[in-house]
Amino acid sequence: MKTIIVTGGAGFIGSALVRHLVRNTANRVVNIDRLTYAGNLESLRSIAGSSRHHFEQQDIRDRAAMATIFEKYRPDAIMHLAAESHVDRSIDNSAEFMTTNIMGTHTLLEVARQYWQKLSGERRSAFRFHHISTDEVYGDLGDTPGGFQETTPYAPSSPYAASKAGSDHLVRAWHRTYGLPVVLTNCSNNYGPCHFPEKLIPLTILNALEGKLLPVYGQGNQIRDWLFVEDHARALMQVVEKGRVGETYNIGGNNEKRNIEVVHGICDILEDIAPIRPAGVERFRELITHVNDRPGHDTRYAIDARKIRRELGWTPQETFESGLLKTVQWYIANGQWCQSAQSGKYNRERLGLIEEH
């Protein structure tokens, strides 16, 4: 049994990874999450009774708290996902993105380095710092054929992407300068259960079910590569266990879709399986409304995932069609999760600010 620290394990991808680790491995998981608006312990309800999951509500920017957790649990690896992750929020107010994504990563690198330097033998050589990042660091692919490769130069467009790019550079520098055994992954857009309803797919599903408008930036022609979140969790495990030290692996679903196609796909699934039709709505597609495009909006991202396939044998299991159907079904079946996420109630409850009668 190994001990793995997961940061951001109450978030969308982090919770999928924690669930995967607890259900499919014998490892012990230490989940560090500050529980911002995006962290939701409801996403971990299915593994709530596990003695191999330890939750620590802490801020990754708190160096003393991080050092205490490293000493207490003596991890074999850290998988670092905690971040501010929403591009629109980064455009409105970028400060938290800089302190969490850049300074928080710096804090973890320093704490991990000091811990790792005191290890010896097999434990020292087997330790891993796995940094989880995004394809947005590569910027806009536009009409360039093919996808982003691990060698593609960085050209981030948004404050969010720039902060993630900064954190990626720090992680590589800690490997080169101090020898810290790192691996990095840069992944395309994820979708699936427990995705906070401010992002395109969950927002569209929930708005449609409530008969609200479905906002689409511009004409919806922006192209993204989509990966089912559980495929991402499997890829992360392959990389932390078998990835070569110092290497970066791009992860993608080979599912390039225009945003408007994604929204149409959701509407079409809902035509078949929505449990109720909102009053006055004849076809879900009629709810689509085009809104002003996001400033600096990249037109196309696509991932070339041949390296992780070639070296580690990972391929996605879901097609976009099967994954999208599962996702819509999950949101229909989990109204309670959606309500708690939208109201932020789960955090207020946890902090003792709400009394349930």
* Euclidean distance between CA atoms 173 and 121, whole angstroms: 23
* Euclidean distance between CA atoms 230 and 323, whole angstroms: 10
Burial of residue 241 (number of CB atoms within 10 Å: 0-12, 13-18, 19+): middle
E-strand stretches of 200-301: 214-217, 223-228, 248-251, 256-258, 288-291
Size of the site for ligand NAD (CB under 6 A): 30
Per-residue mark of binding to ligand NAD, 90-129 (x: CB under 6 A): ----------x---x-------------------------
Under the binding rule (CB under 6 A), the answer on residue 31 touching ligand NAD is no
Q: Which stretch binds ligand NAD (CB under 6 A): 46-54, 59-67, 173-181, 286-294?
A: 59-67
Residue (157 or 190) nearer to ligand NAD, CB: 190
Site residues for ligand NAD, 10-29, by CB under 6 A, read 10-14
Site residues for ligand NAD, 275-334, by CB under 6 A, read none
Residue (14 or 287) nearer to ligand NAD, CB: 14
Per-residue mark of binding to ligand NAD, 195-224 (x: CB under 6 A): -x----------------------------
**Which positions are annotated as active-site residues?**
135-136, 160
Residue (104 or 316) nearer to ligand NAD, CB: 104
Under the binding rule (CB under 6 A), the answer on residue 132 touching ligand NAD is yes
For residue 11, give the 3-state DSSP assignment: coil
Burial of residue 120 (number of CB atoms within 10 Å: 0-12, 13-18, 19+): exposed
Spatial strand order of the sheet with 77-80 comes to 53-56, 28-32, 3-7, 77-80, 128-134, 182-187, 248-251
Under the binding rule (CB under 6 A), the answer on residue 148 touching ligand NAD is no
* Euclidean distance between CA atoms 277 and 344, whole angstroms: 26
Residue (246 or 344) nearer to ligand NAD, CB: 344
CB of 151 to ligand NAD, least distance (A): 19
Return the percent helix, strand and coil in the chain, to nearest 5.
45, 15, 35
Query: Could you tell me if 279 and 200 are in contact, meaning their C-beta atoms sit under 8 angstroms apart?
Result: no
CB of 62 to ligand NAD, least distance (A): 8
User: Could you tell me which residues are beta bridge partners of residue 248?
Assistant: 184
Under the binding rule (CB under 6 A), the answer on residue 234 touching ligand NAD is no
CB of 35 to ligand NAD, least distance (A): 5
* Euclidean distance between CA atoms 239 and 46, whole angstroms: 25
Q: How many CB atoms lie within 10 A of CB 294?
A: 15
User: Could you tell me which residues are beta bridge partners of residue 37?
Assistant: none
Q: What angle do CA 353, 9, 130 make, to 5 degrees?
A: 150
Under the binding rule (CB under 6 A), the answer on residue 39 touching ligand NAD is yes
Residue (35 or 332) nearer to ligand NAD, CB: 35
Query: Could you tell me if 331 and 208 are in contact, meaning their C-beta atoms sit under 8 angstroms apart?
Result: no
Under the binding rule (CB under 6 A), the answer on residue 36 touching ligand NAD is yes
Residue (196 or 320) nearer to ligand NAD, CB: 196
With the CA atoms of 92, 140, 9 and 351 taken in that order, what torsion angle do they form, in degrees rounded to the nearest 10? 10
Residue, CB closest to ligand NAD: 11
Per-residue mark of binding to ligand NAD, 149-188 (x: CB under 6 A): ---------------x----------------------x-
Among 19, 61, 264, 307, binds ligand NAD (CB under 6 A): 61
Pairing of strands 223-228, 256-258: antiparallel
Among 105, 152, 190, 255, binds ligand NAD (CB under 6 A): 190
Per-residue mark of binding to ligand NAD, 68-87 (x: CB under 6 A): -------------xxxxx--
Which residues make up the interface to ligand NAD (CB under 6 A)?
8, 10-14, 33-36, 38-39, 59-61, 81-85, 100, 104, 132-134, 164, 187, 189-190, 196
